[in-house]
């Protein structure tokens, strides 16, 4: 019962801040709302006993990616220039498309018979992350190293672009 209430609370937070990301005019507030969405997603991971994914979500996305986006916002904009100005009110056609999209989405969500699985009983004698780490550093070592080199190249490219005057 408490888990259900917590899930609905997190879902409400996620919906609220997701809408705030795309509707706010202040770019900094939009980034901070995205941070709240990423933290709420980590909360959902913890609620579903995926603690490794929850910690990864906090460290990588809520931490590193949010800081990176904040640096981009702070280094590339100044003063009131970073406020988003809406050109004009939404047109009738965009409102019709929006209503049709959300109507179809709502119909799809309501009409599907969602599968309900049984709870996964984990082997508590071994940590869950141990098997993931063994697989990551043995079977998938090459893709892991390629991803780290790509991230390093991206970081160097970002530094070069930021230093240009």
pTM of the model: 0.56
Beta bridge pairs of residue 83: 26
Distance CA 19, CA 152 (A): 33
**What are the tens digits of pLDDT across the range 141-158?**
888 888 888 888 888 887
Confidence of residue 19 (pLDDT cuts 50, 70, 90): very high
Q: Which is more confidently placed, 132 or 85?
A: 132
**Average pLDDT rounded to a whole number, residues 18-44:** 89
The three-point CA angle 33-39-40 to 5° equals 90
Confidence of residue 125 (pLDDT cuts 50, 70, 90): low
**What are the tens digits of pLDDT across the range 70-88?**
887 777 765 565 555 666 7
Confidence of residue 67 (pLDDT cuts 50, 70, 90): confident
Q: Which residues contact 28 (CB under 8 A, 6 or more apart)?
A: 70, 73, 82
**Average pLDDT rounded to a whole number, residues 43-50:** 87
Query: Residue 39 pLDDT more than 90?
Result: yes
Distance CA 103, CA 98 (A): 8
Domain boundaries, the chain: 1-79, 127-165
Q: Which residues contact 103 (CB under 8 A, 6 or more apart)?
A: none
Question: Is domain 1-79 in CATH 1.20.120.1200, yes or no?
Answer: yes
Contact criterion met (CB below 8 Å) for 83 and 41 = no
Q: What is the b/e burial string over 12-32, where b = at least 16 CB atoms within 10 angstroms of the residue's CB?
A: ebbeebeebbeebeebeebbb
């Amino acid at each position: 019962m408490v888990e259900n209430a917590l899930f609905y609370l997190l879902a409400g937070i996620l919906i609220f801040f997701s809408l705030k990301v795309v509707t706010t005019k202040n770019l900094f507030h939009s980034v901070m709302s995205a941070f709240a969405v990423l933290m709420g997603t980590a909360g959902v991971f913890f609620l579903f006993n995926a603690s490794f994914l929850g910690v990864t979500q906090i460290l990588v996305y809520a931490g590193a990616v949010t800081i990176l986006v904040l640096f981009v916002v702070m280094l590339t904009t100044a003063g009131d220039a970073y406020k988003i100005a809406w050109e004009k009110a939404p047109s009738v056609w965009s409102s019709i498309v929006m209503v049709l999209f959300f109507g179809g989405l709502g119909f799809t969500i309501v009409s599907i018979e969602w599968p309900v699985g049984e709870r996964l009983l984990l082997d508590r004698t071994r940590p869950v992350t141990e098997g993931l780490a063994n697989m990551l550093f043995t079977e998938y070592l090459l893709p892991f190293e390629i991803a780290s080199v790509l991230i390093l190249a991206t970081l160097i490219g970002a530094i070069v672009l930021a230093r240009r005057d």
